[in-house]
Amino acid sequence: MSKQGKNQAGKGGGMSHPGRIPGEKPKEFKKTLWRLLGYLKPRKYQLIFVTIAAVFSTLFNVVSPKFLGDATTSIFTSVKSGTGIDFTFLGRLVLLLIGLYVLSALFSYLQQYIMAGVSQKTTAELRKEVNDKLTKLPLRYYDQHPHGDVLSRVINDIDNINNSLQQALSQMITSVISIIGTIIMMLIISPMLTLVVFITFPLSALVIRYIASFSQKHFVKQQKELGHLNGHIEETFSGHQVVKAFGREESAIESFDEMNERLYESGWKAQFISGIMMPLMTFVGNLGFVFVSIGGGILVLNGSIRIGDVQAFIQYSQQLSQPMAQAAGIANMIQTALASAERIFAVLDEEEERQETPAPVDLQRLTGNIMFEHVRFGYEQEKPIIKDFNLDVKSGQTIAIVGPTGAGKTTIINLLMKFYEIDSGQIKVDGKSLAELSREQVRSLFAMVLQDTWLFSGTIRENIAYGRDDATEEEIIRASKSAFADEFIRTMPDGYDTQLGEDAANISQGQRQLITIARAILADPKILILDEATSSVDTRTEMNIQRAMNRLMKGRTSFVIAHRLSTIRDADVILVMNEGDIIEKGSHDELISKNGFYADLYKSQFAADVG
């Protein structure tokens, strides 16, 4: 339905909305981080187990350098004293170390396995929440946002969050525990050498904070440019025939190259600046390594520490620099995730369509009398398109709406379907105001056949049955015959089970239109809306469809938006609209006899057809 609404909104309204640029407002990163972490709350027990597994995995890695240091001290003491090497002691240490490494690998595997499930389930819920949100957003939102940008948020941004949750969160837990455990072991071995290492900590913190804040704006711009590029690609490839027909390939390539260059620049800057963290952290870590080596050597000579403990301490200082360097990489991923999360939350925070309660009305008893009373509407309130629209339609009448582009024809249909809320006035069905009925109740009264066909990937049978879930095979075939679609469907390789590809490209435009008409016939609506429904078929097929439409419209209130006036000569009432107002009203013969706007329009079309 949203696509139909989008197609409609682009016609007949003369609307113009400035697109809102994603990422243009200042961001509240702390708020976004806490909100993102809130999605992990339902899986807190899994995260507790992940933390426990990380504790054990890291603990075994933390204690192993101490045992290796004991082995070094044992060998050094044995050689220095001239006694034989204690192979029994060394053998026990080797077995112990092997056991520790095996257990460490096992807990690390469990940690990654559970964390993968946590991240996938979390992003699956987030993806579902975004999808549900998109179905609740008003059509105004889709008018203001390019399709490519919406797709980028749903796909790319959520994928970024998923990767960051799975990698960054797991590494963060491991890094924190590794840092704490390493510091404890360093304090046990030598508080003085630990103090030497701590001298480099403030420098590391400054590096991370400065680089992260500087690169964040480039990550936000990177996501914004990616949305723009996706929008251009989606637009270009969906309209590739038009691009080729007008020879605009070079122009499309130039536009792509410009957007791609901007994405490259912002992505390069973001990755380069954040990538500086790792070598800077390594440099800071090496400074600590130098200080520890010099200080440790002095303490060994003084007899204040064993040589094996110095070796262990050097390993610990290296182990400490590794999680610190990992923190730099984690900061990179977190920045990407936050930039994406902000764009996702911007969608989730959009104002939804007003929640409505179904009115206690028996829709089956409604006959289709429709009344417009002083209706006023504008896509932008300061620029009304419909100013003071009044119309009384009796049940079973066929109302044709004609007029130049931008006259407000499709806008009237949008208001009838409650795609948009009117600014003032009332629209009534059998005396019931549309404001009292829910959107679902209103739209269940209508069936639409649009100039722009919409078919989804599936069988022809499924596309026709889209109009009614409980339709039987006989009803589907009857509707297809009424729409003169049965004959061509049976010539397809698999008949009604023929699979339609993307955009139904494996059948002709006319055949697509016939299927949408069969869908409308099957829906058996109270009110029918036809938006130039025969514009994409040949003359003979148009005649067949017109006969089918006459049978379908019999006894039903019907609104027909037409550009070819020859198709509406039999309409009960023809409304001639211009700039949101009805300027002429009557039957075909009455309007011709008035020799006004309609007559001029009809004569010009007739002359063109004869020509």
SS (H, E, C) 93-124: HHHHHHHHHHHHHHHHHHHHHHHHHHHHHHHH
CA distances from 574 to 179, 325, 579 (A): 79, 74, 16
List residues bridging with 528 in a β-sheet.
Answer: 447, 558
Is residue 451 over pLDDT 60? yes
Give the angle subtended at the CA of 490 by the CAs of 487 and 492, to the nearest 5°: 115
- Name the amino acid, one letter, at 472: T
Give pairs for 32-36: CB < 8 Å, separation 24+.
Answer: 32/338, 32/341, 32/342, 32/345, 33/334, 33/338, 33/341, 35/341, 35/345, 36/161, 36/337, 36/338, 36/341
Contact 189, 312 (CB under 8 A): yes
Asked if residue 561 is part of any domain, the answer here is no
Domain count of the chain? 1
Asked if residue 317 is part of any domain, the answer here is yes
- Show the tokens assigned to 596: 């006004």
- pLDDT tier at 217, thresholds 50, 70, 90: confident
Give residue 610's pLDDT: 44
Asked if residue 197 is part of any domain, the answer here is yes
Give residue 220's pLDDT: 73
| Coil vs helix vs strand at 305 | coil
Highest mean pLDDT among 184-188, 229-233, 398-402, 507-511: 398-402
CA distances from 504 to 294, 451, 480, 484, 510 (A): 74, 15, 17, 18, 11
Q: Mean pLDDT throughout 362-387?
A: 82
> 174 lies in which domain range?
28-348
- CATH number of the domain bearing residue 126: 1.20.1560.10
Predicted TM-score of the model (pTM): 0.61
Rounded CA-CA distance 498/500 in Å is 6
Asked if residue 450 is part of any domain, the answer here is no
Asked if residue 185 is part of any domain, the answer here is yes
Asked if residue 517 is part of any domain, the answer here is no
Dihedral pair phi/psi, residue 425, rounded to 5° = 90, -170
Which residues does 125 contact at the CB level (< 8 Å), separation at least 6? 39
Task: State pLDDT tens for residues 329-359.
Answer: 677 677 778 888 888 888 888 887 777 777 7
Asked if residue 165 is part of any domain, the answer here is yes
| Coil vs helix vs strand at 574 | strand
List residues bridging with 557 in a β-sheet.
Answer: 527
Count CB atoms within 10 A of the CB of residue 57. Answer: 24
Asked if residue 436 is part of any domain, the answer here is no
Task: State pLDDT tens for residues 114-149.
Answer: 888 888 888 888 888 888 888 888 877 887 777 777
Contact 388, 581 (CB under 8 A): yes
Nearest to 464 by CA among 443, 445, 456, 509: 456
Give residue 433's pLDDT: 85
Rounded CA-CA distance 37/165 in Å is 9
